[in-house]
Chain A
Amino acid sequence: MSAVGRVARAAVRRRRVQTAVIGVVVAVSTGTIVLALGLLVSASGPFQRAHAQQNGAHLVVAYDTTRVPGEQLAATSTSPGVEASAGPFGQVTLDTAKSVAARAGSLTTVGRADPGGAVDRLDVWAGRWATAPGEIVLNLPRGAGDLVPLGSRIEIPGKPVLTVVGFAYSVSASADAWVTPAQLTALRPTTAQVLYRFTHASTAAEVDAGLTAVTAGLPARSVLGEQSYLTVEERLNSDVGPYVPFLVPFGILGLAVAVLIVANVVSGAVVSGFRDIGVLKSLGFTPNQVMAVYLLMVLVPAGLGCVVGTIGGNLVAKPVLADAFSAFGAGEAGIDAWVDVVALVGLPLVVVLAALVSALRARRLPATAAISAGSGPRFGRALAVQRRLAGTRLPRSVSLGLGVPFARPARSALTLAAIVLGVMTVTLSIGVTLSVSAYNNAMRPAHQDRVEFLAGLPDRLTLPAGLPGPRPAPALGDAGDEAMLRALPGSVRVAASATRTVHLLGSQENPSVTFSRGDWAALGPQIVAGRWAARAGEAAAPSRFLNQRGLALGDTIMVELGGNRTQLTLVGVTLTNNDQAIYADWSTLDGLAPGTRAETYDVQLAPGADRTTLVNAVHARDPGLEAAPPRDGTSSQAVLLVSSASVLTLVLAIVAALGVFNTVVLNAHERRRDLGMLKAIGMTPRQVTVMMVTSMGVLGVAGGLLGLPLGFFVHRLVGPAMLRAAQSDVFGFVIDVYRAPMLVALGLAGVVIAVLGALVPAGRAARLPIATVLHNE
């Protein structure tokens, strides 16, 4: 081994703590960078990524098979501009209104032999693909299988019974369900779908051109409908949109903290080795050999840290990304290979650059100057500060500690920057958590004082073993049930409602309308603008519904239900976030579908009334009313946002604390002679600890004072951006979430990061063996 290698190896062995710190800091920083870059990349185009992953269709076209034969449809795949195609697949619409799958609505069902193919490669994420008649696979994003559990039997009058054998996901939204081609034929389809990928499809005009090309020469009215991937993208992006403004600042913060800390740790390691550099020079090492020693010394642990961090970052990022982007079916999504390459190459590059900056300084220094580096006289502001502090009434250990950061201003500045970013992250994360909670509580209030009764489940219903129900049909009529509920002791308010899917005339849309009566104004969603729809022909809708359609209060819409039409005037904005759900008075339903009975009764309990007693009383009077379990107010999106924020905050706070840890290790190393002397003249271990912790505490206070307003400011940008991305109005109660006591506590986050990072090395400094230190120095 060369002299350089030997000396570098010895340096690594001798500086075990510093080597370990470099390794750990680089590992955590690399992990953070992998996570941060992964988030940034995923957030920048989640739909495109998922679409590319599944080789998604640019266009799905439904054809009328009574007008165009299958051979002619198959020939469309050779039209100009078609890159790949799949189908034709038979297609039928199953009306599940009277089955266990009622909540899934009507199912556009397609016959496909397998989930693969040239276009629209489906992600079968639970169960298996349908291989025999009587089997059906539902199109659901990952984790959404609780709607219709595996094993459920869908019984539709006049159709074969279908058992749910799997869940798959199509980012192209090509169907709601799939069965085998043989089964589909048995369902007597009159429609077939063909899925196309075009060579050029980046704009709506190009997709339209593709449609023109594939339908050229087909008989008139043979196209029943078509769906561009751009339409699907817009819809999905509005669901996942809130993540993007949230993840981007976290990603940037993660990158900044990681690079800062690595630069601080590495340059500190080299600076603290200046004395040894002088000794090496005096032994005859050339300046380049000296530099090589120090680069090797930091690159060995940094290289190891990089590898460990990259692996760790991938392991942490995968579930976070999968959760965040499950709406795209990105179950298999992970970190792009180039992100790993950037981390594996980029971090060592940062390490080398940071080491070089300091090592070049050492290279230029004469041997004698390098030997005495750090121990010579210091002048300027640092001394003036120390002198002023010496005259204060503060305990001496505290005043000495307060002066420490001024001795190494560059190192202190880097440490301060890391704390500032740490406090920013914590402030932003808490703000996002509070905003998400405020939004979630408003949109999905979990009322403990309410019971929801369902007026029985449809006939011919078979649930898989282990699931509750079915209950018998209601014994009382609609009016009888409502009157009975009002008369029960413990019931103070009752609202009855029924939800129907209507057709929005002038569009292809089928939103749902909840028609209500009774105490709905008190028990229904909150109104944020206008008033409740209290009369026939009036409706209230969420801002998302209005925004997506360019509607405003006072505008009218025409809806159709069962062949009957009515005009609705929009009179109120509800605090709900389902862009496909609006609200109207029961009198409107009487006009559209006379005789409809309520499906749901919401009962508000009197204060102190017992839920179980009320439920038992209702079952005794009408066994057909099923009490729904208390609503879980949390949405999966809210849980994901909050848990992602927590993970990221924890990681970044740990990285910032590691920066503090390293600074204290370096300060203690450089000041071990002073520490030994202070202990020799009577400084107690506790005083040493106080001194070292104070030295970082002052940076923590400064970091808190700077990081808090920055985090607050970023939250003011991120919060509204998240709401706008969700196509919602920006509500003040979602943005103004910080309260004065909380701001004080958040301001202390810097102190917490600083103290936590400083405690261990400060304790170590307090235990320095005085005799050894003074003897060696």
Chain B
Amino acid sequence: MTSDESRANPVVQLTAVRKEYSDSVALDGVSLGIRAGEAVAVMGPSGSGKSTLLNMVAGLDRPTSGSVVVNGEDLGKLSETGLALFRRRRIGMIFQFFNLLDDLPALDNVALAAQLTGTSAAQARARALELLDELGIAGRRNVYPAQLSGGERQRVAVARALMNRPALLLADEPTGALDSRSGEQVMDLLLDLNQIGQTLLLVTHDERLAKQCATRVIQVVDGRIAATAGLERSS
């Protein structure tokens, strides 16, 4: 597949996705395509279904109806193990509260993602160090999460997400728990990643983050896509 073809085929394709919980409908007939290299921001009020949408794409949750195809894989047809392998190989995830293992230093937190695939400890650590170096925190590699600043923790989380060279990077409120300076650093980081071709889907309340990083913004209201808008990224 050529680079142009790759860009034409959607990395993510949601078709009429509906997600019901016992007492509510989180997503209601959502259809959405994301092409390779795109940076899509999902915005909307609390409880609108943004995180549910992200969970569907990550294979963390299954739709009640409709289909979710990511990088050519129909997630509805995968077992729990299949979904885990899919996430391991295709998805990188960044969380609002970092979700690092407190018992491991930064380097081993990053290396963990590769070690789960069977990569040796030495190889995984070498690659993790490379990533931490690229993200400017190699000097903090032996520091435990509790001793890192919020921004540093999120950089470690980004490094971990990139460890297995994912087709799609998912970020759930990546700046939500950070001060403004750390938030900006993370925004720059995501922008840089997208500019070198990393497909990005982020959920955020932060309009500045959306404007700076996303090429397209999707507004979700009451579980439906209310609006879609292409963006010229602010510099």
Which A residues have a C-beta under 8 Å from some C-beta of B?
375-378, 382-383, 386-387, 390-393, 395-397, 403, 407, 673-674, 676-687, 767, 769-771, 774-775, 777
Contact = CB atoms under 8 A, between A and B. Distances in A.
Given A382-B103, A680-B58, A774-B99, A391 B121 contact: yes
Contacts of B84: 679, 682-685, 687
A383 B145 CA distance: 12
B73 interface: no
B173 to A, nearest CB: 11
B51 A775 contact: yes
Contacts of A387: 104-105, 108
B115 A396 contact: yes
B147 interface: yes
B116 A771 contact: no
Given A390-B111, A685-B80, A677 B99 contact: yes
Residue among A387, A682, A685 facing the most chain B CB atoms (10 A cut-off): A682
Residue among B89, B93, B100, B112 facing the most chain A CB atoms (10 A cut-off): B112
A55 B89 CA distance: 81
Contacts, number: 102
Size bracket of the B interface:
35 or more
B81 interface: yes
A682 B85 contact: yes
A393 B121 CA distance: 7
B120 interface: yes
A386 B103 contact: yes
Contacts of A777: 97
Contacts of B71: none
B101 A681 contact: no
A377 B95 contact: no
Contacts of A674: 99, 101
A775 B58 CA distance: 14
Contact of B95 (A382, A403, A774): A774
Given A377-B146, A682-B84, A386 B104 contact: yes
Residue among A407, A679, A681, A685 facing the most chain B CB atoms (10 A cut-off): A681
B60 A677 contact: no
Interface of B: 51-52, 55, 58, 60-61, 80-81, 84-85, 87-89, 91, 93, 95, 97, 99-105, 108, 111-113, 115-118, 120-122, 125, 144-147, 160-161, 164
Contacts of A771: 51-52, 55, 60-61
A777 B100 CA distance: 13
Contacts of B147: 377
Contacts of B97: 777
A88 to B, nearest CB: 84
B116 A683 contact: yes
A681 B104 contact: no
Given A378-B103, A682-B164, A771-B55, 6 more contacts: A377-B102, A378-B102, A396-B112, A681-B113, A770-B60, A774-B99
Contact of A682 (B52, B89, B95): B89
A681 B120 contact: no
Given A376-B146, A683-B84, A677 B120 contact: no
A407 B104 CA distance: 12
B60 A407 contact: no
20 contacts: A376-B146, A377-B102, A377-B147, A378-B103, A383-B103, A386-B108, A396-B116, A407-B103, A677-B95, A679-B84, A681-B87, A681-B112, A682-B85, A682-B89, A684-B84, A686-B81, A687-B84, A767-B80, A769-B61, A770-B55
Contacts of B81: 684-686
A756 B85 CA distance: 27
